[in-house]
């Protein structure tokens, strides 16, 4: 049994390192291929456009502005363009290469027109940067690979992604102490929310109204079951169903990226991202509030702030199971690779396990959430990177069970039911918990990067260019042995 566990752990940890970990802060990249002549404007433009396209995919996937800038500088430096300026904002990337005092600079700009949750695309770009770093493929080949990555369909069909969203809601309901009825209702409700939002997205509906529709739908099944609880002899807390739907809607927002940008030195981008998060959260609360008023006009009065969740520290097993299902479901719903899902399951179990353990103490939800997020970020920086999975995938999936959906619902209901002070207290707690989670993940990744920062690989030091066979699928290569000279 011990040997089986060690082999499984070895497969997860491995001996590889993250792409971002090989980029030393302030280091000079040693280009393994011949630098581009400064008077060759076409070649410089090709490299700058390649670096900007890679950065656009990273930014689209939620990567922080500083990490995106580092990757762009690294890719350009591999091809000999080390004197460049990179400006990454909320949805725009500007890259400019200086060519000395006698030639004008060459500049390229790329705009991120949409944001999507496709972690497989992020993983492919991560491996492309590895190939550029280790094998020195040509810019033209790299452009063709980026074309294939951005135009490829999602790895899973839509129905499977919808099913994964439902599994995530099921995990949240278990985490909150819900039974079979709550879990099944949350599962079905979430699938309806995702399907409805996808239809709205296809016709170009702004995401604010998509979030509003999701919050509205999350309340209706809970209110219906609560209205018929006595004839059907049902015993459940409707807040658990609503909170599961809120967490699903919150999980797709770039909370981690916004706080990370603000902490790491990109306050403008961080402010823009945080404003987007606040606006989208406002859409959820608007939908929930509208639904609550609607059901109240029909005579259904949902329980207020006095209702407490039965989940507590005496139930550690449901906590671990619910956290694992929520994190794994989110990873699958975000089109993560199969190798990333077990790591996400472990991250979810780790975060909820820490929360359950600290519930025996008096540290409170803010500190316990921050500590759990630090460990999740640390796991994403160590285990996930050695499993060739981008750490962002593990970090976002791992904190999903920690999102304060129940506190947001209870706070909104308190404000609407004339319990203003307790309601605002709950909302303030939810906002603080969310920021502490994002800050904790950032700190955990920084610790992992500091503890396990490797030296630059030999492929970057020795300008040796092997012949390769470029393939997108599998990223395999074929090397030819050098001829043996007779002496």
Task: Give the span between the Cα atoms of 288 and 415, in whole angstroms.
Answer: 12
pTM of the model: 0.81
- Within 8 A by CB and 6+ apart from 12, the residues are 342, 343, 383, 386, 387
Residue-level pLDDT at 305: 57
Residue-level pLDDT at 190: 93
- How is residue 178 written in tokens? 């819900």
- Would you say 215 and 196 are in contact if contact means Cβ atoms under 8 Å apart? no
Residue-level pLDDT at 168: 93
Q: Where are the beta strands (DSSP E) in 36-159?
A: 84-88, 92-97, 106-111
Task: Give the span between the Cα atoms of 247 and 114, in whole angstroms.
Answer: 22
Residue-level pLDDT at 114: 67
- Residue 232, number of CB atoms within 10 A of its CB: 9
| Helices 267-297 and 207-227, packing angle to 10 deg | 30
Task: Give the span between the Cα atoms of 458 and 441, in whole angstroms.
Answer: 31
Neighbouring C-alpha atoms within 13 Å toward the C-beta of 59? 30
Residue-level pLDDT at 309: 47
DSSP string, 179-248: -HHHHHHHHHHHHHHHHHHHHHHHTT--HHHHHHHHHHHHHHHHHHHHHTTTTTT----HHHHHHHHHHH
- How is residue 280 written in tokens? 């989208």
pLDDT in single tens digits along all 487 residues of the chain: 556 555 655 554 445 555 555 554 444 444 455 667 777 888 899 999 999 999 999 988 888 888 899 999 999 888 888 888 999 988 889 999 988 888 889 999 998 876 677 888 888 998 898 888 876 688 889 999 999 998 888 888 889 999 999 999 999 999 888 888 999 999 999 999 999 999 998 898 898 999 999 999 999 999 999 888 888 888 888 888 898 888 888 886 777 778 888 888 888 888 888 888 888 888 998 999 899 899 988 888 887 655 444 444 457 788 889 999 999 999 999 898 888 888 889 989 998 888 888 877 778 888 888 999 999 988 877 876 666 678 888 888 888 888 888 788 778 877 777 777 888 888 888 888 888 888 898 898 888 877 755 544 444 444 333 333 343 434 433 334 444 444 3
Residue-level pLDDT at 66: 87
CA angle, 50 then 52 then 55, to 5°: 110
Task: Give the span between the Cα atoms of 99 and 40, in whole angstroms.
Answer: 10
- Would you say 241 and 189 are in contact if contact means Cβ atoms under 8 Å apart? yes
């Amino acid at each position: 049994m011990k040997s089986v566990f060690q082999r499984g752990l070895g497969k997860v940890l491995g001996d590889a390192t993250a792409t971002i970990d090989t980029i030393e802060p302030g280091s000079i990249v040693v280009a393994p291929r011949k630098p581009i002549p400064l008077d060759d404007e076409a070649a410089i433009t090709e490299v700058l456009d390649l670096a900007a396209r890679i950065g656009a995919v990273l930014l689209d996937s939620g990567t922080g502005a500083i990490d995106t800038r580092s990757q762009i500088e690294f890719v350009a430096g591999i091809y000999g363009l080390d004197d460049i300026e990179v400006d990454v904002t909320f949805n725009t990337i500007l890259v400019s290469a200086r060519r000395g005092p006698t030639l004008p600079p060459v500049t390229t700009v790329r705009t991120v027109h949409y944001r999507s949750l496709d972690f497989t695309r992020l993983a492919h770009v991560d491996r492309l940067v590895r190939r550029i770093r280790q094998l020195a493929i040509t810019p033209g080949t790299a452009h063709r690979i980026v074309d294939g990555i951005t135009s490829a369909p999602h790895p899973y069909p839509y129905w499977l992604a919808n099913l994964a969203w439902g599994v995530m809601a099921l995990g949240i309901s278990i985490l909150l102490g819900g039974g079979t009825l709550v879990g099944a209702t949350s599962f079905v409700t979430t699938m309806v929310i995702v399907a409805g939002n996808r239809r709205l997205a296809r016709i170009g509906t702004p995401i604010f109204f998509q979030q509003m529709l999701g919050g509205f739908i999350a309340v209706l099944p809970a209110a219906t079951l609560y209205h018929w609880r006595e004839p059907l002899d049902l015993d459940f807390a409707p807040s658990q169903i609503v909170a599961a739907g809120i967490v699903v809607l919150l999980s797709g927002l770039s909370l981690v990226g916004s706080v990370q940008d603000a902490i790491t030195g990109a306050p403008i981008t961080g402010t823009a991202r945080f404003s987007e998060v606040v606006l989208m959260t406002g859409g959820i609360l608007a939908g929930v509030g509208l639904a609550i008023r609607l059901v109240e006009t029909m005579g259904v009065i949902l329980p207020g702030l006095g209702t407490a969740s039965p989940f507590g520290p005496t139930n550690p097993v449901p906590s671990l199971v619910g956290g694992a299902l929520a994190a794994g479901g989110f990873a699958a719903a975000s089109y993560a690779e199969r190798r990333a899902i077990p790591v996400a399951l472990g991250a979810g179990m780790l975060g909820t396990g820490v929360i359950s353990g600290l519930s025996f103490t008096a540290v409170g939800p803010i500190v316990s959430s921050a500590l759990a997020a630090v460990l999740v970020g640390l796991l994403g920086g160590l285990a996930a990177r050695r499993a060739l999975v981008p750490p962002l995938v593990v970090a976002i999936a791992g904190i999903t069970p920690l999102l304060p959906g129940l506190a947001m619902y209870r706070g909104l209901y308190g404000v609407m039911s004339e319990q203003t002070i307790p309601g605002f207290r709950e909302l303030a707690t939810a906002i603080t918990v969310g920021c502490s989670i994002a800050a904790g993940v950032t700190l955990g990744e920084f610790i992992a990067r500091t503890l396990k920062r490797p030296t630059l690989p030999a492929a970057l030091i020795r300008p040796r260019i092997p012949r390769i066979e470029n393939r997108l699928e599998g990223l395999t290569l074929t090397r030819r042995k050098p001829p043996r000279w007779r002496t």
